[in-house]
Chains A and B, each alone.
Chain A
Amino acid sequence: MRAVLDPNVIVSAVIAPGGAPARVLERGLAGDFEPVVSALLLAELADVLARPKLRQRVAVADAEELQQRISERSLLVADPEAAPPLRARDPGDDYLLALAHEQRAALVSGDGDLLELAGRAPVFTPGEFLRMLDDPELRGFGA
């Protein structure tokens, strides 16, 4: 099962160990599903982690190691050139939708702009995605 983790899920996972995003990231690194990343996704993750409010919580060296580990444990693919079939309210989210669509992957996000597409696109909250991972019937998504 493949999944694109919105950078907000990864960032949230790192700074709050008790939440669903933390469990999703942990299970992704452990190989319980196949995370999909692209250059744009990794660049946005780096940009967000470099912001002052996050820098005070995640040291530069740890942020760099996190990006490295995620790259190593994920399927790294080229960013799609085509626009996604369904557009988000925020055009900045389109690259995530296009990536998930092209890779037949679930998109896991905490952003309301993307989650409002649920039902029309395979967008899930971290909690919903965890329930999918634990449900044998739903794990076949995208296969």
Chain B
Amino acid sequence: MAKVRTTLTIDEGVMRAVKVQAARSGMGDSEVIERSVRRDLGLDLLDRLWSRADMEPDEAMELAVTEQHAARRGQH
């Protein structure tokens, strides 16, 4: 997804912690903040799941619907 430039107003102590984390990890301030927000929103989990996912959308929906119906019928 495209990056956008933005201006944030955050607590001075939090910004200091961001800079410490950035220096320790070798990341930029923006990346530290983005990673933290993604983790908070649960988007890091999607990133992890999607790194291993390889199905085509139509195939995935067909499988999801089929398995949902089977689960409702109690089928194995």
Contacts and interface: CB of A to CB of B under 8 A. Distances in A.
A20 B49 contact: no
A131 interface: no
A102 B71 CA distance: 25
Contacts of A26: 43, 46
A21 B49 contact: no
Nearest to B52: A57
B23 interface: no
A69 B42 contact: yes
Interface stretch (A58-66, A76-84, A116-124, A135-143): A58-66
B10 interface: no
Nearest to B1: A26
Given A12-B60, A47-B71, A58 B45 contact: no
B65 interface: yes
B64 A19 contact: no
Nearest to A68: B42
Given A16-B59, A16-B60, A53-B63, A30 B49 contact: no
21 contacts: A11-B63, A11-B68, A14-B46, A16-B56, A16-B57, A17-B53, A21-B61, A22-B46, A26-B43, A26-B46, A29-B43, A30-B41, A30-B43, A48-B68, A62-B48, A65-B45, A69-B42, A73-B42, A90-B69, A90-B72, A111-B65
Interface of A: 6-9, 11-22, 25-26, 29-31, 44, 47-48, 51-54, 57-58, 62, 65-66, 69-70, 72-73, 90, 92, 110-112
